[in-house]
Amino acid sequence: MKIKLILLLSLFSVGFSAFSQKKKSNTPPNIILVMVDDMGYSDIGAYGSEISTPNIDKLAFEGIRLKEFYNNSICAPTRASLITGQYPHKAGVGYFNVNLGLPAYQGFLNKESLTFGEVLKTAGYNTFLSGKWHVGNDSLYWPNQRGFDKFYGFIGGASNFYADAKDVPVELVENNKRITLKEGEYLTNTITDKALSFIEEQQKTQKPFFLYLAYNAPHWPLQALPEDIAKYRGKFALGWDSLRTIRHKKQIELGLVDPKHAIATRDEDVPKWDAFTYDEQQLWQRKMEVYAAMLDRVDQNVGRVLAKLKELKKDENTLIVFISDNGAQGGYVPLGRKRSRNSGPIGSSGSYEYQDQSWASLSNTPFRSYKNNFHEGGISSPFIAWFPKKIKAGSIARGTGHLIDLAPTFYDFAGAKYPENYNELKTNPLAGVSLKNVLLEGTELNRELPIFWERGGNRAVRKGKWKLVSIYPEKRWELYDLDTDRGETTDLSGKNPDVVKALIAEYETWAKKNNVENYDKIKPAVQIGNGTRF
């Protein structure tokens, strides 16, 4: 009798353990989306940089990277696509977060385009956002009104990083309440502080969570902590010419860049490093030292997030994705933004310096052009996904992804159904594809439909190996074979008129479907991104 009882207890224990393991494996994962602001394709170690980013590199080398992942080239339209899974015009942010008087250009997210917060809440998730919003200035359209349980950050496109009693206050919002950054705080750290508090507090709910961690670094103004800046003294003395070559070589070694592809042709507006005097080089170095320090601090904070997940035993059931909202910023009038009355040295509170196209050409290695442009340097982002024991460590996926793919990917992982109707409105169907199988199985991403872009008169189409691009105000279409020339050095439009004609036809069909207007008819009196910084 005793032996039978022991046997029964043993069988019960095995069955309960199997049930527990099955239940654990069926638990929807926590999801963290980390996005940095104005960071170039090559600015983290895992994509070729000399900047110290060990925590982000950990995600890359223990996870998966994409060689080709696209954004929308500028802050607000990128965030509109990211948060909703729509092309920006369909979401209402076809130009920027300003209202041009048309539904596709209203400057805030429409209600037919559901956010991460709205969809994932229906699947039982806690939803958090810490950092930058930039898709609706009016309080009617803030994060808490669009499905996020908790929000801390700033509403507009840029913010100071330091709180300085002598300077303009750093204006923030926390759960619909206007606040300011306290003196002595640094915004990158505080964004993380709030995110970690959200994760800790939700422990009580036993729900999975979604966290959108939207850092504003390394977007201007270039402001960093002194101890971080000190780490980079002299690190950029070689200048952008030599460092660009070094980064390109490392990218080839990492398997991210085909050695047969030519690096983008040198921008004629970027002076040769050797043309500067010693003192001029010292000033230029300071800009990149501060920029690197800002990214270094982001990386330190990513490390804090990883440590908190491990402490709470959530690390093995958390998917983390890391991207940038556009390429590094260049090509704009450097005095376009008014300095504060207390403007100090580069890196300090009150400094309104930005990276400038010279260093941006390094950040966007090996690609052409910058933010607000649809050549590869403006729209190419690193893409890293990390999910312990689920994603094969160190893999690099083939295929072309876009921001519109992230919403369906997250909903696929979460088991969330995107509704056809929401609050008595018919929703806009998702425009992208789920990357779940690409991430978990390493399969190649094969798209049936092209990817399209339009913003401020700039236009582009990507279909297979072909990329068609037109830059305003020239309006001439250029054609590139990205299988052999991702640096976009050789325009093939003259040799392939039938390809150009076919892609233009597909673009025009897409433009009509997404309510894209002729930019000459709608452009604002004061243009954003043409002659001014943003």
What is the per-residue pLDDT across 114-157, written as a single tens digit (0 to 9) for each? 999 999 999 999 999 999 999 999 999 999 999 999 999 999 99
pLDDT at 524: 85
DSSP states of 252-269 as a string?
A: HHHTSS-TTSPPPPPPTT
| Residue 453 clears pLDDT 70, i.e. is over it | yes
CA-CA distance, 4 to 458, in Å (whole number)? 77
* Region 404-412 average pLDDT: 98
Residue among 169, 163, 128, 170 at smallest CA distance from 32: 128
- Cα distances from 478 to residues 58, 145, 170, 364, in angstroms, run 38, 42, 43, 20
- E-strand ranges in 155-208 read 171-174, 177-180
* Region 462-488 average pLDDT: 97
| Residue 430 clears pLDDT 70, i.e. is over it | yes
Residue type, 80: A
| Residue 498 clears pLDDT 80, i.e. is over it | yes
* Region 401-405 average pLDDT: 98
Tokens of 182: 């306290």
pLDDT at 167: 64
φ, ψ dihedrals at 400, nearest 5°: -120, 120
Give SS3 for 203: helix
φ, ψ dihedrals at 254, nearest 5°: -75, -10
Cα 424 to its chain centre, rounded Å, is 32
Average pLDDT, the chain: 92
Could you give the angle at the alpha carbon of 293 between the alpha carbons of 292 and 298, nearest 5°?
95
pLDDT 10s digits, 506-523: 999 999 999 999 999 998
pLDDT 10s digits, 376-397: 999 999 999 999 999 999 999 9
* Region 89-110 average pLDDT: 97
Cα 450 to its chain centre, rounded Å, is 21
* Region 423-447 average pLDDT: 95
| Residue 474 clears pLDDT 80, i.e. is over it | yes
* Region 262-269 average pLDDT: 94
CA-CA distance, 146 to 109, in Å (whole number)? 9
pLDDT at 6: 46
pLDDT 10s digits, 192-217: 999 999 999 999 898 999 999 999 99
pLDDT at 219: 96
CA-CA distance, 150 to 500, in Å (whole number)? 47
Tokens of 235: 């690190």
pLDDT at 354: 87
**Residue labelled with tokens 């209600």:** 111
Whether cis (ω within 30° of 0) applies to the bond prior to 54 is: no
Question: Positive or negative, the Cα torsion across 484, 510, 401, 141?
Answer: positive
The reported pTM is 0.93
* Region 361-374 average pLDDT: 97
The 8-class DSSP code of residue 347 comes to B
**209 near 125, Cβ under 8 Å?**
yes
pLDDT 10s digits, 330-357: 865 443 444 444 467 899 987 888 889 9
Residue 25 confidence class, pLDDT cut points 50, 70, 90: low
pLDDT at 9: 44
- Cα distances from 427 to residues 26, 122, 162, in angstroms, run 29, 15, 40
pLDDT at 465: 97
Whole-number percent of the chain with pLDDT over 70: 90
Tokens of 227: 């101890």
35 - beta bridge partners?
Answer: 214, 323
CA-CA distance, 283 to 346, in Å (whole number)? 9
CA-CA distance, 440 to 390, in Å (whole number)? 6
CA-CA distance, 289 to 227, in Å (whole number)? 11
